Amino acid sequence: MRLGFFGDVMGRSGRLALIKHLPNLRKKLALDFVVVNGENAAGGFGITPRICEDLFDAGADVLTTGNHAFDQRDDVQHFDQEMRLLRPANFPLSNPGRGSGLYPAANGADVLVVHLHGQRFMNPMDDPVPALEQALDGIKLGREVAAIIVDMHAEASSEKYSLAHYLDGQVSLVIGTHTHVPTADAQILPGGTAFQCDAGMCGDYDSVIGMEKSTPVHRFVHKMPGNRLHPASGEATICGLFVEVDERTGLAQQCHPIRVGGRLRPTLPPL
């Protein structure tokens, strides 16, 4: 079984690039299931129902979000209406939507997706571990589901690594999002769980983590508020991770970074 995960979609540039490339990537890599983190897809802040449909039409099976999940305030009810759209499971229970779900893959198997929010250097949030354990309760990898994907949306690499080692052997993939920079540590942990500390973004890398660079540079140098932040509009690089899992156990057999287009050096799995 082949899984694809694509990192934070950043603004129009990242959105259009992913919509352009994902259908071909899904076919070329024979992906059975695709998760996309779309929390910055709407002008860099949040996501809308129309963008959700565009990403689903392009080949995403599930969309995760993060700390910007509800930035498009007029559209927050969509989290209750669209089962394939997740907000972090450790958001307050009063929030709309859900933090995990069971979904069918193209090969007919079931995939569990769990979305979590970090605590270090982030807005205060509930402990992700109880929310994780609730989502996994009664579900065993390779028995009830063919694969389990956990998106940990966090700033601190230590949180992502700790979670990955805690879940090693219990899930197919722990993937980090939020920092918008693809890390060079894609690996399979000793127990068989694939891991990458951050998938990177789908966006223009001639930027400051996806934002047009003049305003954040001005703020950095002068320590003064500047203009409103806007997503960079140059050619985007599509960043993500390919994982192949054993259909009997749900554990990873191989994982490889994906980078297509834009400024970063391209790479695809050596299939």
| Helix, strand, or coil (residue 164) | helix
Per-position DSSP letters for 31-100, written without gaps between them = -SEEEEE-TBTTTTS---HHHHHHHHHHT-SEEE--TTTT-SGGGTTHHHH-TTB---TTS-TTSSS-SE
Number of other CB atoms surrounding residue 122 within 10 Å: 16
At a CB cut-off of 8 Å and minimum separation 6, what does 45 contact? 68, 71, 72
Sequence-distant (≥ 6) Cβ neighbours of residue 42 within 8 angstroms? 48, 51, 71, 72
Q: Can 218 be counted among the known catalytic residues?
A: no
Q: Which of 68, 115, 178, 256 is catalytic?
A: 68
Write down how long the chain is: 271
Half-sphere exposure of 264 (CA within 13 A, CB side): 24
> Quick one: tokens of 144?
């009830």
**Which two three-digit tokens encode residue 73?**
């305030």
Which of 111, 241, 102, 267 is closest to 176 using CA atoms? 241
Catalytic residues: 68
